[in-house]
């Protein structure tokens, strides 16, 4: 029996898979067992052609390949290379000692060249955690694999090149990590005139990772404000970057040749998106938009135009920070800790709050339009902001608005304060605090309790809203450089809940 180690991706983690090959006498046959999917079963013809076109002989007789453990489903073409190696090992092309503590993955072309595959980063993380010394990946995936460090990575461009390396004929040099420059943001707050109130709310949202809803007439700048939000977010930490890159690698959205993702994701799905595309799913679960936006921004423009059924699927990820998708073959969990930013008009025509244009909607139409957003979903927004039409004098003003760089400096200062407070809890922002953690780290003064009691008695706050107001107040205090939540911080947080409908 001849074994090669590879990996199977489960969510954004990987588990080791042993590829066993056996060549026996009998009629010519090539069988792959061990719960393979269609792509793995189709590998038989690719592997046979790749071996022959690389100058080797495909063994005669019955060739049986087992992918163990058999209870883990194997999907994708990444098993082509390890299966081919296990067969060549069985025919004596190279020695068993040359593959000790090594992991192999890659798709084979018919000519024997090796193509890039998905999930390389998760396989590299698995190899490092299990103290395996080396990983052999397609050349297009080397920067992805070298990003984690502490693991010897070899880039393979062809099956013959790899076999020559294993035989000691011609060595492949270890891949080196290449430094990637952080792309510059194209949108900047200095391009947006007026809307100081909305900019302040977005600064708070960015500092604490709070969900925000922008409401206002067409042309007020809601979409531009939301699309400029990434420009004031701090850079990804190394831990966050690995999480984001792992999701992109599994989803197949990571460009070939790229290492760790350096910028926070910004996802803006169309309002016709299905529930599966938004939260993930499929016969074998794949990450959806909420996971692709992990540690970044999920922007839903024209929020009421989304199906209410689809929007209700956001409620669980917004609370838990992850998505669990259960299928007959098992359950897969994807992280989904994102900042939800949404924009909507106040009515179907959009001019209900526009002082310069007359609204043409009936009261019934307005109520029906606003009811498209359920109360429970609306209650999950920490900040709900009215974005008015821009005043003409501000549009004509030559005064340059504050830049994103200046705002980001304040956001980073607030994030630093949060990091010092939350690092032992392995949390990143105030929005992730639980009720008990909030009570311990952010106690209320008697004045603060009195103000919150008034809000609760007037039915302005739900139990969830009560917690979210306290988190926002903590973020406002961090922006102000204050260790304590002052009364003015709490009052400002409460005003951002004025438009939350409790029904």
Set out the domains of the chain in order of their start, with CATH numbers. Answer: 2-167 (3.30.230.10), 189-495 (3.40.50.300)
Using CA atoms, how far residue 47 sits from 4, 35, 446, in Å, is 15, 18, 72
**452: preceding bond cis by omega (within 30 degrees):** no
Which residue in 132, 81, 140, 146 sits closest to 116, CA to CA?
140
Q: What is the pLDDT along the chain (503 residues), one digit of tens a residue?
A: 678 999 999 889 999 999 999 999 989 999 999 988 888 888 999 999 999 999 999 999 999 999 999 988 888 899 999 999 999 999 999 998 889 899 999 999 999 999 999 999 999 999 999 999 899 999 999 999 998 888 999 999 999 999 999 999 999 999 987 765 566 666 888 888 888 999 999 999 999 999 999 999 998 889 999 999 999 999 999 899 999 999 999 998 988 888 889 899 999 999 999 999 999 988 778 899 999 999 999 999 999 999 999 999 999 999 999 999 887 667 889 999 999 999 999 999 999 988 888 999 999 999 999 899 998 999 999 999 999 988 877 777 888 889 999 999 999 999 999 999 998 998 999 999 998 999 898 888 999 999 999 888 886 788 888 999 999 999 999 999 999 999 999 999 999 987 675 55
Given phi > 0 = left and psi -120 to 50 = alpha, else beta, which region is 481? left
Q: Hey, how many other C-beta atoms are within 10 angstroms of the C-beta on 221?
A: 22
- The CA distance from 202 to 193, in Å, is 15
Q: Are strands 297-300 and 286-287 parallel, antiparallel or unpaired?
A: unpaired
Contact present, 147 and 259 (Cβ < 8 Å):
yes
Q: How far apart are CA 143 and CA 262, in angstroms?
A: 13
Alpha-helical (H) ranges within 30-79 are: 38-41, 43-53
Distance set, CA 485 to CA 54, 237, 440, 445 (Å): 69, 27, 13, 8
- CA 387/CA 331 separation, integer angstroms: 42
Tokens read off for 99: 């593959």
C-alpha dihedral over 321, 326, 332, 338, to 10 degrees?
-20
Find out whether 209 and 430 touch, Cβ atoms under 8 Å: yes
Residue 68 β-bridge partners = 18
């Amino acid at each position: 029996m001849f074994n090669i180690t590879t990996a199977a991706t489960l969510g954004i983690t990987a588990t080791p898979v042993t590829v066993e090959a056996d060549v026996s006498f009998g009629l010519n046959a090539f069988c792959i067992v061990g719960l393979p999917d269609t792509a793995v079963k189709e590998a038989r013809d690719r592997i046979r052609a790749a071996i022959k076109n690389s100058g080797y002989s495909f063994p005669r007789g019955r060739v049986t390949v087992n992918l163990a453990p058999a209870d883990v489903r194997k999907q994708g073409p990444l098993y082509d290379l390890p299966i081919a190696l296990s067969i060549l090992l069985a025919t004596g092309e190279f020695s068993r000692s040359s593959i000790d503590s090594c992991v192999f993955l890659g798709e084979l072309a018919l000519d024997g060249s090796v193509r890039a595959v998905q999930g390389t980063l998760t396989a590299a993380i698995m190899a490092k955690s299990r103290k395996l010394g080396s990983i052999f990946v397609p050349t297009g995936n080397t920067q992805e694999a070298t990003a984690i460090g502490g693991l010897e990575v070899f880039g393979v461009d062809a099956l013959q090149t790899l076999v020559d390396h294993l035989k000691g004929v011609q060595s492949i040099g270890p891949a080196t990590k290449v430094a990637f420059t952080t792309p510059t943001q194209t949108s900047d707050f200095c391009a947006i005139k007026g809307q100081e109130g909305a900019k302040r709310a977005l600064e708070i949202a960015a500092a604490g990772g709070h969900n925000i809803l922008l409401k206002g007439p067409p042309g007020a700048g809601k979409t531009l404000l939301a699309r400029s939000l990434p420009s004031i977010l701090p850079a990804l930490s190394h831990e966050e970057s690995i999480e984001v890159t792992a999701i992109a690698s599994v989803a197949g959205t990571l460009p070939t040749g790229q290492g760790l993702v350096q910028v926070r994701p910004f996802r803006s799905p169309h309002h016709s998106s299905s529930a599966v595309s938004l939260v993930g799913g499929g016969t074998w679960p794949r990450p959806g938009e909420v996971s692709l936006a992990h540690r970044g921004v999920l922007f839903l423009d024209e929020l009421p135009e989304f199906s209410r059924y689809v929007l209700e699927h956001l409620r669980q990820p917004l609370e838990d920070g992850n998505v669990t998708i259960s299928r007959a073959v098992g359950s897969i969990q994807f992280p989904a800790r994102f900042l939800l930013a949404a924009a909507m008009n106040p009515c179907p025509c959009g001019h209900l709050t526009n002082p310069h244009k007359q609204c043409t909607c009936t009261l019934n139409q307005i109520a029906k339009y606003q009811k498209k957003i359920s109360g429970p979903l609306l209650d999950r927004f920490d900040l709900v902001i009215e974005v008015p039409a821009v005043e003409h004098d501000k549009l004509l003003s030559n005064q340059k608005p504050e830049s994103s760089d200046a705002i980001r400096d304040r956001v980073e200062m607030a994030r630093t304060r949060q990091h010092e407070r939350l690092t032992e809890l392995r949390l990143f922002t105030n929005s992730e605090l639980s009720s008990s953690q909030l009570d311990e780290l952010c106690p209320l003064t008697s004045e603060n309790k009195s103000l919150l009691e008034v809000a609760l008695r007037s039915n302005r706050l739900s139990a969830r809203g009560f917690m979210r107001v306290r988190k926002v107040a903590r973020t406002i205090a961090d922006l102000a450089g204050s260790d304590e939540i002052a009364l003015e911080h709490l009052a400002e947080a409460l005003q951002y809940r004025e438009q939350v409908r409790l029904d």
